[in-house]
Chain A
């Protein structure tokens, strides 16, 4: 079983819709959770971090964490074509500062 699992997609949504990206993780001891956006040919860019159960909002982005279900999600409201990218979920490991990354979900926002 992989440490972090994401649906690879591709996920397509129309412009203005809500995009929902999901991630599950296997290590119950994980405490820190991150979402990165990666445009094609570019490096991962941090967009959200979340540490406590519940929702965290930042502009059009909302991260949701449920530690009991070992589930973290990212909602993108009012999706724009510029949101088209691969979204990586990252979870910290139990030791040191190691992160485990999912393989990413490819999102396409259709104008």
Chain B
């Protein structure tokens, strides 16, 4: 039972570069989410998706792009990375009902130099 996997686990890149973080889940959950976690801010929602081809902004979407062509994949792209995007990124998924918990991947630690 692989659950939800993120790749890469660690990434170092430079400002201005494009970088894509991958998220794959095997539960067939309809909802998927991207969060960033920074000291003092906790988990902040970047984007979420209710189903394939349906995405919506969260609390901190600027500088990020998502897509969801298949139910199981939800990649997050930083089109032109900035130092302020250095963070730990978590992908999560949940079943469709509003009261279902979210389950998290192991995270990607991203450093932008």
- A residues contacting B by CB (< 8 A) are 31-32, 34, 42-46, 49, 51, 88, 90, 92, 96-99, 101-104
Contacts and interface: CB of A to CB of B under 8 A. Distances in A.
A43 B106 contact: yes
Interface of B: 31, 33, 35, 40-43, 45, 48, 50, 56, 58, 90, 94, 96, 98-107
B50 A97 contact: yes
A49 B101 contact: yes
B104 A43 contact: yes
Contact of A102 (B42, B104, B107): B42
Given A97-B31, A101-B43, A102-B42, 18 more contacts: A31-B98, A31-B99, A32-B100, A42-B107, A43-B106, A44-B90, A46-B101, A46-B103, A49-B101, A51-B99, A88-B42, A92-B99, A96-B31, A96-B48, A97-B33, A98-B45, A98-B58, A103-B41
A96 B56 contact: yes
A44 B102 CA distance: 10
B93 to A, nearest CB: 10
A99 B98 CA distance: 10
B30 to A, nearest CB: 9
A43 B100 contact: no
Contacts of B56: 96
